[in-house]
Chain A
């Protein structure tokens, strides 16, 4: 195997949390609120269904080919030629998606804090830091997640507690005023984030304690669901029905924090903590892309791909959209179908073919 490191199932679970959450708390609450209004807190629950389905597909596929990642076993499932095509789709997808993520990160930082800093510099510096982590391999990313995720979660909880004085519980009433459909409609965007759980297909072969993999993968989905639920309900309680009008509702909610007129304007602090989460998300996608490319090209090492891929990522981040509005529109319209079709639909077809192949093989015997 190209990757010699081993991680634990717990580490994989922890790693997936920021890999979903980091960008899901940026633009998504506003898009959810736009569709679901005061029912936006229900949407993550529907959305998580995709997460459970994707995890289930990834684990079933992994059971058939326990030593391989999706790039490798797709060649075995649909043949060498078509397998290479499927692999290429995945690689291109992760390259493009990571470009979107980096662009979201850059737009957020430039739009809110460093108005006069060039976007390319903000994105490029982040890609450089991520490249260092990716060079370390899966073990290093896993350990970084274990160091960073607890801090991120503590900060989230801390700010939710600080926002309690500004919360207005009546904002959530009337619950399900227009029935169940607005909340399902609001779930369409976040559910595509949950489809990113298919990333575990790249990490499962390196999990040391295989008996726990299902448990921690599902725990991770639940943790993401719970975090999104908490964030959405906090934003709803604080901002109410104007949530949809903000670009970054979570940041706007944080602005309400004021303790004894001393602790105020902590957005920059929250941004710094969020950057750590975004770092993990970009690193995970970056790593998956680099590892997948090395496997696709049958290289013996992936480390020499890290820095060249970084430049490619930067280019994709620039190409993704001309500006934030286009990016937001893209996320609100195309992305759910885009993410789902690659990360849920294609794998489910792979799973069906793999099942059918195994059945044929058993019958032949």
Chain B
């Protein structure tokens, strides 16, 4: 454990002591490999002290030169190691360093061979699954890119299912995720910048963007915010999200997280930046606006008129999921005159035996619904059926017959529950679901006025929010005429000529003009052939 415990050297800038991660990195860099094999092996062994999964395999190159192979069991494709690397290394006749270099670079049938010059580089290679070959009398080690570990196969993302559209989703493997993205965007303009975060997890992070579409200022800001992260471990992109978002106290998500490669590709094409992380299928996309969280990828795969209608349906149910219980409470408590007389009679008849005021009734039922939802997510599949049966009893006829809640309340709660799931992004939906509780209290104390005041507070908060410099409510506020049409309607693809203006203004043209299909114009062959006159 030598280099972990070296005394910290005095730096020029005393006011800013180096953080744990920075210190480690700086010291590692200084430790170059020596010419003595035994010393190198000992250094690595002291680093990997008490790591039973690290294998040190002494061998002789060509039967003469001493060497040691170091790898982590389980991260390396042992078959390839046995069948390709070990035979040719051990059987070769090379003896001097130059010959050996020739051997590794030209005759070894492994695509990815790299040289490591420092201990830190060796450690990096070993921990990413590349076996390291340390050779006597050489201050360079060779690493072989034959990493292989268990991974999940491609599956359809369960959180973002579509009826029409690609069914593959990201997996936990960063390499697979990048390849999925690269398969969608083949242009070399798709750039991927790599970095490592987390002092102990050393998690690989990749910033993906399209050169020439994503603005430089945005990219710089993303890199700067990622660079200031200094944390012991990154286990999910939500860690990154929480450390880079603009307003950490907001209930609203300011970063889009998705499991779908097509969503990431579409966002990259609009000039956004994606952050991929090893070990999670969720990819972050910045910046986002509130409205883009209300859009599903399928909006662009269905016919545009249908998608427009569905978008408006979503806006309506967004309001319902936020407001319906509070509206019900407000109307029953303060504004009975708004209800048509016959309906009011039915409602008051059903409420006659209920011991609670509408406010309490609403709060109880909403909490029960949230509990059922949470239990449904966490419970193992075998117990799920039980929860749904019990849930149907609790929020259902039994509760009404027991005289605890009124039947209209059941309808309100059920409708609200359904409504919140029409929002395609779970994080946005859950934010609104949480906000409806203060709204119910406001409605119970100030009626419609309270609801309006609550709405105004929420709206003010949203107007204050920004996601990486882009106002959260854009393109509606501030209004951007050209982009507003993608919020109010789903624009036909042949009319989507410009990219949204996020932070840059260059390269906004998305497609050529006149993309609208127009078979009547000009001589359409199919039309000519099918003419029956």
Contacts from A to B (Cβ < 8 Å): 7-8, 10-11, 109, 113-114, 117, 122, 125-126, 129, 132-133, 136, 139-140, 142-148, 261-262, 264-266, 268-269, 271-273, 275-276, 279
Contact = CB atoms under 8 A, between A and B. Distances in A.
Contacts of A145: 477
Given A129-B456, A132-B461, A143-B478, 14 more contacts: A8-B478, A114-B449, A129-B453, A133-B456, A136-B464, A140-B464, A142-B478, A143-B473, A143-B477, A146-B473, A146-B478, A268-B335, A275-B453, A275-B456
20 contacts: A113-B447, A113-B448, A114-B446, A125-B446, A129-B453, A133-B456, A139-B463, A140-B460, A143-B471, A143-B478, A146-B477, A146-B478, A264-B338, A265-B337, A265-B338, A268-B334, A268-B337, A269-B338, A272-B448, A275-B449
Interface string B450-471: 0111011101110110000001
Contact of B476 (A117, A147, A262): A147
Contacts of B446: 114, 117, 125
Contacts of A125: 446, 453
B340 interface: yes
Contact of A272 (B340, B452, B479): B452
A144 B452 contact: no
Interface in B454-510: 455-457, 459-461, 463-464, 471, 473, 476-479
Contacts of B334: 113-114, 268
Contacts, number: 93
Most buried by A among B338, B473, B477: B477
Interface of B: 334-335, 337-338, 340, 446-449, 451-453, 455-457, 459-461, 463-464, 471, 473, 476-479
A129 B338 CA distance: 26
A212 to B, nearest CB: 13
A42 B420 CA distance: 48
A271 B463 contact: no
A136 B456 contact: no
A144 B448 contact: no
Contact of A269 (B448, B477, B479): B448
A268 B447 contact: yes
Contact of A271 (B449, B455, B464, B479): B449
B453 A140 contact: no
Nearest to A125: B453
The 8 closest A-B pairs by CB, nearest first: A143-B477, A146-B477, A143-B463, A265-B337, A272-B452, A272-B448, A268-B335, A136-B464
Nearest to B337: A265
Most buried by A among B334, B456, B461: B456
Contact of B449 (A10, A109, A144, A146): A109
A133 B447 contact: no
